[in-house]
A and B are shown apart, each in its own frame.
Chain A
């Protein structure tokens, strides 16, 4: 059975091994002194492949039959002071372990679990998962996402994806991922977790996007040899490269040996001469050379503990800390915009608008990729270098405060860097990363080609600005001729819950993700992103309603509905020369932009509907009084009944006077005046109309 796999006397290790039942497992007996390395880098040894019956059945999953694609392959030779053993394998991978008290399972979907043999509980520890020689083809045998849980007390959570032929593992500090998080049934993906990449581990892995590949782009697709707690390169053909998406700090245990790399560069690894002697020891701190290349230095064995960390300097999220406990205003956004052909496809809150809690002091919470006390985050005015304020990233979420100039409309960069000079602050020259995490695309996925200077910036409204904005808004809103447009603006500025000619619904729920809400501002959201506001309803007969009834927008809708129903109307008519009244014809969500359909009649006029409501979706019914002549429909009068709902909020990107409205909205809750504490609160509006039968829309169709 199993012995059938062994043929000949000299073999590369391990040989083709087939485990056909669950009562046996194979392992490799290490014979250190008899090892050599073949020209192609394959480790060749005279070790023995042994098979051993296992005491108990491995449950619950069946082992997967393994048959390697070739008779030779590279593998990690691990010298953990114990004989490496094959714990589990999949069609194109092999798991080597060190502890006979454990066993591993590879389920049919490729998931590996390591369990204690004594009680079948999940185990952890240091395991190596090695891809066999040859590149597996994604989709043909996988993908296999392999996760191994960490054992309590051990540093190490390893994640693999062998779908793309990559291998290796990354290492998470225990503090970041306690064992409890990685419970038996929990297979973690590390989408946004902070992690360290210790050099002593072959912590360079090509993994699926969203896992650890965020920072490790197939860094080291080569075989490594480990000696004690250090690793050295064993096989290398050609330079390996690492593309650093963001800044990276390499900090070794050697004092003051920090090396900083600017993000986004390709770093070549100059290969050290492989030490193929298993008993040899070398560690390879990485130092950036003057041209940005990374040199792998050799250190003597006496520096047994010399190793370093690659610490990504990066910012994952920027969160406005304007209203305590409310963190709905944040970056990155799902998309950006910047498409000249489709300007409406932009994300309204990118740049992110916020206000100070008081005065000129802005507060942000910055989530960093990796917490490190010498990494600092800071803020600066775009296109400048001076840091307005900075804070140490000693924890994953950093409280950052900085003072903004009074009365400015600056865009602020949120930056990160390494405190190289240890002055406990981020200097302008130390900035390595400018925050940008929002995808450079618009709502429909088209690439952003313009306005990229605004992406992921922050705009901060200060108290002076808020006071001025309220004054300007009031001056415009109470101007003669502004009527209901002015009434609404005034109610917004003053936080009033009444508006002339409108009824108020006092409590209406709203969420920070309310469709149409340009900025998650203008309300005090609870932790779930919910708040209450009010609604003003302009009923039939109100000036606003009357304007809608005589609007071109409604005229267009009525015309469209009659045209769409012309055939039915004609067929329903008896053919006499008399007007008859149709039944109710419903229309739903007819989108109209009053700015386009109903601009001001004359240059000095005020397009009230456009200003107050802009684009709306109108629903309702019409009845038509008509007669027919042949194929023509003569409409004598029409009755139109309907309504639309809207949200009264301002978008910074509109600019001009509306931008002033956005400032007032941003200032809600924290910078509102004592006279009008609810100033800047967003609210809903509703407009209802019932024209009765009128000849406004009569004509021939």
Chain B
């Protein structure tokens, strides 16, 4: 029993660690030093709050308020990208020159950029996508409040990026979404699939949004992770069990040595 509990603990720690890695990786995508970041996995809380609609929620913050609150979320399909919202986005795509743009993911996934909203008190930049094959919606959002970010000259590039927005920010958001989607596959969130999503543009304007500067890096990252064998939760549990077993043996031997 003790061994089982220890093994579960190990597996949870491993999952948390991977969540932190995801958060840090995304911070680096935006050019923010991840060591100054606080990564909070709020999946359980939001899952309970939403009665299971939310599958994964990761919040990124910094204590010194130099980082814009960033949230990554995976929900069941239709929870975040509600049908009426999707309809609204579709009807406002126009000729592609407007603020809302659509991009596609592999395996039937697609998403929208330029769907931010807010008011004088604050606003959010959002990238919202859905992946029907896995039955999930994905959200990456950055929240900016009226008081602004705490000034830090060493973070000028990052702060300019998130406050001024535009195409480069869209590229970074898509890069983050890539990582979130890869995480969904690695953690087996949503329905299983054989292939990892790979964003691709559907129109020239959307392709421009994906951006040359970040796309190769994220693609390379995706490919590298995609080539690796999947490492589902049960595998982590097994590893945890082995380590725990070894640990118990080690402790017993030390005790007998005394």
Q: Which residues of A contact B (CB under 8 A)?
A: 337-341, 343-344, 346, 409, 450-453, 468, 471-472, 475-482, 485-486, 488-489, 593-595, 601-604, 606-607, 609-615, 647-651, 653-661
| Beta-carbon contacts under 8 Å, B141-163 to A | 141-142, 144-153, 156, 162-163
Q: Is the CB of B117 within 8 A of A657?
A: yes
C-alpha gap A485/B116 in the complex (Å): 13
Q: Is the CB of A450 within 8 A of B124?
A: no
C-alpha gap A654/B118 in the complex (Å): 11
C-alpha gap A489/B123 in the complex (Å): 12
Q: Is the CB of A603 within 8 A of B119?
A: no
Q: Is the CB of A656 within 8 A of B118?
A: yes
C-alpha gap A136/B145 in the complex (Å): 55
C-alpha gap A452/B119 in the complex (Å): 27
A475 CB contact (under 8 Å) in B65, B66, B100, B137: B100
B49 CB contact (under 8 Å) in A337, A468, A489, A602: A602
Contacts beyond the supplied A648-B119, A655-B165: 19 A-B pairs with Cβ under 8 Å: A340-B150, A475-B98, A479-B88, A479-B117, A594-B121, A602-B49, A604-B139, A610-B121, A610-B122, A613-B120, A614-B119, A615-B146, A654-B144, A655-B68, A655-B144, A658-B118, A658-B123, A659-B163, A659-B164
Q: Is the CB of A343 within 8 A of B153?
A: no
> B22 in the interface, Cβ–Cβ < 8 Å?
no
**Contact partners of B141 in chain A: CB under 8 A:** 603
Between A594, A609, A654, the greatest number of chain B beta carbons within 10 A of the residue's beta carbon is seen for A654
**Contact partners of A594 in chain B: CB under 8 A:** 121
Q: Is the CB of B151 within 8 A of A603?
A: no
Q: Is the CB of B144 within 8 A of A606?
A: no
Q: Is the CB of B119 within 8 A of A485?
A: yes
Q: Is the CB of A654 within 8 A of B148?
A: yes
**Contact partners of A595 in chain B: CB under 8 A:** 121-122, 145-146
Between B73, B88, B115, B122, the greatest number of chain A beta carbons within 10 A of the residue's beta carbon is seen for B122
Q: Is the CB of B120 within 8 A of A648?
A: yes
**Contact partners of B145 in chain A: CB under 8 A:** 595, 610, 614, 654
C-alpha gap A595/B156 in the complex (Å): 24
Q: Lowest 9 CB-CB distances: which A-B pairs, in order?
A: A614-B121, A655-B163, A657-B123, A604-B80, A611-B119, A450-B151, A603-B73, A476-B117, A472-B99
- From known contacts A409-B164, A603-B139, A658-B119, infer whether A451 and B153 are also in contact, taking CB-CB under 8 Å: yes
**For the side of the interface on B, what is the size category?**
35 or more
**Contact partners of B139 in chain A: CB under 8 A:** 603-604
| Beta-carbon contacts under 8 Å, B49-69 to A | 49-50, 53-54, 57, 64-66, 68
C-alpha gap A654/B119 in the complex (Å): 10
Q: Is the CB of A344 within 8 A of B147?
A: yes
Q: B104-134, CB under 8 A of A: which get 1 and which 0? A: 0000000000111111111111000000000
> B7 in the interface, Cβ–Cβ < 8 Å?
no
- From known contacts A451-B151, A475-B98, A604-B73, infer whether A340 and B119 are also in contact, taking CB-CB under 8 Å: no
Q: Which residues of B contact A (CB under 8 A)?
A: 46, 49-50, 53-54, 57, 64-66, 68, 71, 73, 75, 79-80, 82, 84-85, 88, 92, 98-100, 114-125, 137, 139, 141-142, 144-153, 156, 162-165
C-alpha gap A609/B118 in the complex (Å): 10
**Contact partners of A476 in chain B: CB under 8 A:** 99, 115-118
**Contact partners of A609 in chain B: CB under 8 A:** 121
Q: Is the CB of B99 within 8 A of A468?
A: yes
Q: Is the CB of B165 within 8 A of A653?
A: no
Q: Is the CB of B57 within 8 A of A472?
A: no
Cross-chain pairs A/B with CB under 8 angstroms, 26 sampled: A338-B151, A339-B151, A340-B64, A340-B151, A343-B149, A409-B164, A452-B153, A471-B98, A476-B117, A478-B88, A479-B88, A601-B49, A602-B46, A609-B121, A610-B122, A611-B120, A613-B119, A614-B145, A648-B120, A651-B146, A655-B148, A655-B162, A656-B162, A657-B117, A657-B118, A661-B120
**Contact partners of A450 in chain B: CB under 8 A:** 151-153
Q: Is the CB of B165 within 8 A of A651?
A: no
C-alpha gap A453/B153 in the complex (Å): 9
**Contact partners of B85 in chain A: CB under 8 A:** 479-481
Q: Is the CB of B114 within 8 A of A475?
A: yes
Q: How far apart are B22's CB and chain A's nearest CB, in angstroms?
A: 15
